[in-house]
Structure 1
Amino acid sequence: MESKTKLYRLLRDDEENPLENGVTAKLPLADETPLHHIRHGSRTQSQWISTSRSLDDVKKLIRYKILHEGRKACRVVEIDEQKLVKLKKELNRLKIEKVMKILEILQKPSELILTDLLMDYILTNTTGKILDFTDESIMNTYIPNQFGNMTARGYAEKYSEVLVERYIPSECCTRIHIVTM
Structure 2
Amino acid sequence: MRFILPREALLKPLQQVVGVVERRQTLPVLSNLLVHVAGQTVTFTGTDLEVEMVARATAEDPRDGEVTIPARKLFDICRALPDGARVKLEQNGDRVSISAGRSRFTLATLPASEFPVIENIDVVERVSLAEAVLKDLIGRTAFAMAHQDVRYYLNGLLLDLRDKTLRCV
Greater strand content:
2
Verify same fold: TM over 0.5. no
Higher relative contact order (CA 8 A, sep 6+): 1
Greater helix content:
1
TM-score, normalization by structure 2: 0.25
TM-score, normalization by structure 1: 0.24
Larger CA Rg, structure 1 vs 2? 2
